[in-house]
Amino acid sequence: MKKGFINKRFLFVNFLSISRILPLFLFLYFFKCKNLYGSLISWTCLGFSDTFDGYLARKWNVQSEIGALIDHGIDKIIELSVAYHFYIQKIFHPVVFYIIAFKNIFLIIGGSIIFINFKWALHSNSLGKIGGFLMYISVFLILLKLDRAISIPV
């Protein structure tokens, strides 16, 4: 994307990244209410929207440093929120939560410092994409495993 040039597609892709907060809140709400279907649907929406915003940015050639910062920031918020929620529900051992929290807080602070000082955002590589994919699959599998403990609405 040209420097200083903002178009509707650029705004839409970044709005899509930011709007992933809504299915996150829905997921946390449904999970807390032990609604398996709501949890699975909202988590699936999170995964697809994470993939879709990046796909559109590449397809429309509106990738930017600020877009990468927004996308990765939202990813970290999602990971921290879900890890904290699983920790509170005693699904995650405290050590697992602290490792996830440290990693994400370090990446948020470090990425912000790099962006502020150098106007450069960390872009995900293949390992980052695999890690994100594994996170979505892991939570999905945790939900399926908890099927016995979570009531299914009729």
2 found inside a domain:
no
pLDDT band at 151 (very low <50, low <70, confident <90, very high): very low
Does residue 52 fall inside a structural domain?
A: yes
Overall average pLDDT of the 102-106 stretch: 92
Q: pTM of the full predicted structure?
A: 0.82
Q: What is the pLDDT of residue 5?
A: 54
- Is residue 3, in this structure, part of any structural domain at all? no
User: Closest by alpha carbon to 70, among 106, 20, 135?
Assistant: 20
User: How far apart, in Å, do the first and last CA atoms of the chain sit?
Assistant: 49
Predicted confidence (pLDDT) per residue in 4-45, tens digit:
556 889 999 999 999 999 999 999 999 999 899 999 999 999
Helix (H, G, I), strand (E, B) or coil at 81: helix
Q: Residue 72: its pLDDT value, please? A: 87
List the domain range (segments joined by +) for residue 123: 8-148
Number of domains in the chain: 1
Task: Collapse the DSSP code of 122 into the 3-class scheme (helix H, G, I; strand E, B; otherwise coil) and give the result.
Answer: coil
State the average pLDDT over residues 121-146.
83
In a domain, 141, yes or no: yes
Question: What are the tens digits of pLDDT across the range 38-67?
Answer: 999 999 999 999 889 989 998 999 988 888
Residue 1 lies in a domain: no
- Give domain status of residue 40, yes or no: yes
